[in-house]
Amino acid sequence: MITLLVGCKTTGYCDFSLQKDGWMPTDNVPQQVLQISSFDRFWYSNAKGEYLVCPKRSSKYVCDGFHVFYVPTPEGYRQGDAIVCMT
């Protein structure tokens, strides 16, 4: 069997712990990030000014299966890694 992950940059563990790495829930997401995101569900930010979105989570600080990072640039923000859980 062959499995293709189109558009995936990185594979990672299931149930990514957000709190462990300093991610805090936020409702204050920059408009530019919202415009480039395909998802608008559970948003988090960290002290570096990065944003992360989880389309699904199992608890307030546990992201299930898939999450996308948005990182600051001199021009604004760009999408960083899209992490996909492989089970």
Range of the domain at 43: 15-85
pLDDT recorded at residue 14:
58
In a domain, 63, yes or no: yes
The pTM (predicted TM-score) of the whole model is: 0.74
Side chain identity at residue 45, one-letter code = S
Picking from 31, 43, 26, the residue whose alpha carbon sits closest to that of residue 77 is 31
What's the structural domain count of the chain? 1
Give the model's pLDDT for residue 1: 41
Would 50 be classed as within a structural domain?
yes
How many other C-beta atoms are found inside a 10 Å radius of the C-beta of residue 16?
A: 21
| pLDDT score of 6 | 44
> Is residue 8 situated within a structural domain?
no
Asked if residue 4 belongs to a domain, the reply is no
Reference 67, options 78, 77, 76, 57; nearest CA is: 57
Does residue 10 fall inside a structural domain?
Answer: no
* 3-state SS, residue 1: coil
Residue 43 forms part of a structural domain: yes
Q: Is residue 9 part of a domain?
A: no
Residue 64 within a domain: yes
User: Block means of pLDDT (10 residues each) for the chain, length 87 residues?
Assistant: 44 64 91 87 93 85 81 92 65
pLDDT of residue 21: 78
